[in-house]
């Protein structure tokens, strides 16, 4: 299994625009990212997981809102308590130590990154909205079927609906990753990342920004 790359968690503040040197308007997304402390370092020598990784936390939370096992786990790092935890598998964790902060300083303007978020949930939707079906005919003789799916099965054989058939159902609310997203600006003093274009998820959604492997 290929190792993941180093990254940082953040919260999507919203979209805005900046102007280039030639006066063009560039749409961008502002992410309040980090600092994310390392709450656990996993390596072959100290853990039984048989892989190397670091676990990071984001967004401080009151102690009373955590369970005793969660508090005991996070207390080992000697830091505060955090609401969101995630794990990053790495090939080498020797340069990381417990309690170390990961900040936006790891990124540089012009760098391309991977951005992961949970897309906006659209609820239960029909086939026209979910899959861009054209719908049934709207001519004379068709009553209340204009946005229907149409035929979905077969005849006597195989007499079933195949798995994966495009039908009505839950739309959105899925994990989405965008690659080759350009970083326009990094502001370490404010813990901000400014990314070119849009990223998955609603305003105030949790976002994961990771470095991209080149090879």
For the domain 35-102, what is the CATH code?
3.30.160.810
- In this structure, the strands spanning 7-19 and 82-89 are unpaired
Q: Which residues pair with 26 in a beta bridge?
A: 18
3-state secondary structure of 145: coil
pLDDT the model gives residue 2? 42
3-state secondary structure of 74: helix
Q: Which of 43, 44, 19, 14 is nearest to 30 (CA)?
A: 14
Whether 82 and 39 have beta carbons less than 8 Å apart is answered as: yes
Give the pLDDT band (50/70/90) at residue 168: very high
Residue predicted with more confidence, 60 or 215? 60
pLDDT digits (tens, 9 = 90+) for 92-112: 888 999 999 999 999 999 999
Residue 214 has pLDDT above 60, yes or no: no
pLDDT the model gives residue 92? 87
pLDDT the model gives residue 35? 94
pLDDT digits (tens, 9 = 90+) for 15-35: 999 998 899 999 999 999 989
The pTM of this model reads 0.85
Q: Which of 136, 158, 155, 156 is nearest to 147 (CA)?
A: 136
- Listed by start position, the domains of the chain span 9-26+107-137+162-184+191-214, 35-102
pLDDT the model gives residue 1? 35
What values do phi and psi take at 156, rounded to 5? -65, -25
Q: Please give the sequence-ordered ranges of beta strands (E in DSSP) within the chain, or none if there are none.
A: 7-19, 25-33, 36-42, 53-60, 82-89, 101-102, 112-118, 123-125, 169-171, 175-187, 192-196, 206-211
For residue 99, the tally of other CB atoms under 10 A from its CB is: 13
Share of the chain above pLDDT 90, in %: 78
* 93 Cβ neighbours under 8 A, 6+ residues apart: 41, 42, 43, 52, 53, 54
Q: Do domains 9-26+107-137+162-184+191-214 and 35-102 have the same CATH topology?
A: no
For the domain 9-26+107-137+162-184+191-214, what is the CATH code?
2.40.30.10
pLDDT digits (tens, 9 = 90+) for 34-48: 899 999 999 876 667
């Amino acid at each position: 299994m290929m190792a993941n790359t180093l990254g940082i968690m953040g919260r999507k503040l919203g979209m805005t625009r900046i102007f280039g040197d030639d006066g063009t308007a560039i749409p961008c997304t502002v992410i309040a990212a980090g600092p994310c402390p390392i709450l656990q370092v996993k390596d072959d020598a100290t853990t039984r997981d048989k892989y190397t990784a670091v676990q990071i936390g984001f967004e401080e939370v009151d102690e009373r809102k955590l369970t005793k096992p969660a508090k005991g786990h996070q207390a080992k790092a000697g830091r505060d308590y955090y609401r969101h935890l995630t794990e990053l598998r790495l090939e080498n964790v020797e340069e990381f130590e417990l309690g170390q902060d990961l900040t936006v300083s790891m990124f540089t303007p012009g760098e391309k990154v991977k951005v992961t978020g949970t897309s906006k949930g659209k609820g239960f939707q029909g086939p026209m909205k979910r899959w861009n079906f054209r719908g049934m005919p709207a001519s004379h003789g068709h009553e209340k079927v204009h946005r229907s799916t149409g035929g979905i099965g077969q005849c006597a054989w195989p007499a079933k609906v195949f798995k994966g058939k495009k039908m009505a159902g839950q739309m959105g609310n899925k994990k989405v990753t965008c690659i080759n997203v350009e970083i326009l600006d990094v502001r370490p003093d404010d813990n901000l990342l400014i990314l070119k274009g849009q990223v998955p998820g609603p305003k105030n959604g949790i976002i994961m920004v990771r470095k991209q492997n080149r090879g």
